[in-house]
């Protein structure tokens, strides 16, 4: 492997014992669904190379927060990768792209269906020449179907899937989920499919062409709500901070105005909730004897529970509820949740160090392997910073040939992005 220093801190492929170590992934994605997928693969040890246009992944420029002219949005989903910037509009750039595809085990792309074909890249031809290649496409509506050519973003698929109709309070306008689940769930499903395809290939099979639709993934996330609609013929309503089936699974406002959530799912938990609140009589009330009865009389039950929780500040309810075996939690804001994660010591707030020795913190890899230390993560790459290393390692390309690609404009190496906003540090 090449070891020549690049302008960023990640000067060479990570040496890791991750389960995907040794696999090469060509990442032709932008924004969120694809980069999140390939970050999962990189966290698992794969060598991931971002193939970017000369202007770079669009997420490099998303405001309002920047670190050394790089968007915080980009920095949060592109660790452990390297970058090669190629102008695919030039013949030399397209030829280089095909050669990099040929050297990869996995290609991940999230172009709109048909775009790569119009550029001269035929997936079927590539896989016929290399049957072991795993090709993964992430799109809004899939490679086939009536909506394949329509553009899609996170909120579009949240709306079309019914997810937004379940989010928010009854009688109020629908609300987008506070996290970009349309993108991130698609990225997770794509990573799962890629791992399955690689496992099958290792057993003597061929590669696969993976077709992941953001809308399909959101429909899959409907879970029991979709079953209720299909089996019972009902239209599930906005959930707010409640549950359709379990009336003691919801949030409450305490005496100090702060919210907490209680998930008393079982009969034992229900009785523990009554004891913790000092309302033991509720457990013997004929209206609340069973889960079905509590659901039927939920409005009356909620009024009684809401009055009880107002007697104390939210934090004061945690110990008595836990003592009675009732799952309970304060509703934290994002900084509070991250501070808790940092204190927990599970690596869910990770530090990344750039070439100047400066660090940023990002959310870490949630996948742990028992008895194995987490591999150190590398800072997201500067645009095109790793071109020479990658082309030598993947294609055995000589320095004069790399320079020729740079001279003709097909390859952009080590470009610093223009200033786009104030550094947040």
305: which strand partners?
none
pLDDT, one tens digit per residue, over 257-276 is: 999 999 999 999 999 999 99
| Cα–Cα distance, 85 to 80 (Å, whole number) | 17
User: pLDDT tens digit string along 37-56?
Assistant: 999 999 999 999 999 999 99
137, 211 in Cβ contact below 8 A?
yes
Catalytic: which of 57, 87, 154, 183? 183
Q: Interior CA angle at 101 toward 98 and 103, to 5°? A: 115
8 Å CB contact between 212 and 135: no
Q: Given pLDDT bands bounded at 50, 70 and 90, which one contains residue 16?
A: low
C-alpha span between 173 and 334 (Å, rounded):
24
The pLDDT value recorded for residue 205 is 83
pLDDT of residue 375: 85
| 24-222+381-412: CATH architecture | 3-Layer(aba) Sandwich (3.40)
pLDDT at 425: 54
Compute the distance between CA of residue 273 and CA of residue 276 in angstroms, rounded to an integer.
5
Mean pLDDT of 134-154: 96
| CA separation for the pair 350, 72 (Å, rounded) | 14
How many C-beta atoms surround the C-beta of residue 243 within 10 A?
A: 15
pLDDT at res. 421: 52
222 — pLDDT class (breaks 50, 70, 90): very high
Q: State residue 417's pLDDT score.
A: 46
- Identify any residues that bridge with 106 across adjacent strands, giving them in sequence order: 25, 134
Residue 144 has pLDDT above 80, yes or no: yes
Domains of the chain, residue spans:
24-222+381-412, 259-330
pLDDT at 81: 98
Q: Is the pLDDT of residue 14 over 70?
A: no
* Catalytic site includes residue 154: no
- On the question of pLDDT at 423 being above 80, the answer is no
Grade residue 413 by pLDDT with cuts at 50, 70 and 90: confident
Least confident piece of the model among 96-100, 252-256, 417-421:
417-421
Is 1's pLDDT higher than 90? Answer: no
Residue 10 clears pLDDT 70, i.e. is over it: no
Average pLDDT of every residue of the chain: 93
Are the C-beta atoms of 28 and 115 separated by less than 8 Å? no
Same CATH topology for 24-222+381-412 and 259-330? no
Please give the Cα distance from 273 to 280 (Å, whole number).
9
**Per-residue pLDDT for 338 more than 90?**
yes
What is the fold, at CATH topology level, of the domain defined by 259-330? formyl-coa transferase, domain 3 (3.30.1540)
């Amino acid at each position: 492997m090449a070891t020549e220093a690049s302008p960023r801190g990640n000067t060479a492929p990570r040496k890791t014992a991750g389960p995907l170590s040794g696999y090469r992934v060509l990442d032709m994605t932008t924004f969120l669904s694809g980069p999140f997928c390939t970050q999962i693969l990189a966290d698992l040890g794969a060598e991931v190379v971002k193939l970017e246009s000369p202007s770079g992944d669009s997420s490099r420029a998303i405001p309002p927060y920047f670190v050394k002219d790089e968007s915080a949005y980009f920095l949060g989903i592109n660790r452990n990768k390297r970058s090669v910037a190629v102008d695919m509009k030039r013949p030399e750039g397209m030829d280089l792209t095909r050669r990099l595809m040929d050297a990869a085990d996995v290609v991940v792309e999230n172009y709109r269906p048909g775009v790569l074909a119009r550029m001269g890249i035929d997936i079927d031809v590539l896989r016929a020449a290399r049957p072991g290649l795993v090709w993964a496409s992430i799109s809004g509506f899939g490679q086939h179907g009536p909506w394949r050519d329509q553009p899609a973003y996170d909120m579009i698929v949240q709306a079309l899937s019914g997810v937004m109709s379940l989010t928010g309070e009854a009688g109020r306008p629908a609300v987008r989920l506070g996290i970009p689940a349309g993108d991130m769930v698609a990225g997770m499903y794509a990573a799962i499919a890629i791992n399955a395809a690689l496992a099958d290939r290792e057993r003597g099979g061929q590669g696969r062409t993976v077709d992941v639709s953001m809308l399909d993934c959101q429909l899959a996330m409907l879970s029991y709500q979709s079953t209720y609609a299909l089996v019972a013929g009902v239209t599930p309503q906005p959930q707010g901070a409640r549950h359709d089936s379990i009336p003691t699974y919801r949030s409450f406002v305490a005496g100090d105005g702060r919210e907490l959530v209680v998930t008393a799912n079982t009969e034992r938990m229900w009785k523990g909730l009554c004891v913790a609140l000092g309302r033991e009589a509720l457990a013997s009330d004929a209206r609340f004897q069973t889960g079905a009865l509590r659901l039927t009389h939920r409005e009356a039950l909620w009024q009684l529970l809401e009055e009880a929780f107002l007697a104390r500040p939210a934090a004061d309810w945690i110990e008595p509820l836990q003592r009675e075996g009732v799952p309970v939690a304060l509703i934290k804001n994002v900084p509070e949740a991250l501070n808790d994660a940092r204190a927990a010591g599970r690596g869910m707030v990770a530090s990344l160090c750039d070439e100047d020795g400066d660090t940023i913190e990002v959310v870490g890899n949630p996948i742990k392997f028992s008895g194995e230390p987490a591999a150190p993560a590398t800072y997201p790459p500067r645009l095109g910073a790793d071109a020479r290393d990658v082309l030598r390692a993947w294609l055995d390309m000589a320095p004069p040939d790399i320079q020729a690609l740079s001279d003709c404009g097909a390859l952009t190496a080590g470009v610093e992005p223009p200033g786009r906003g104030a550094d947040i540090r």
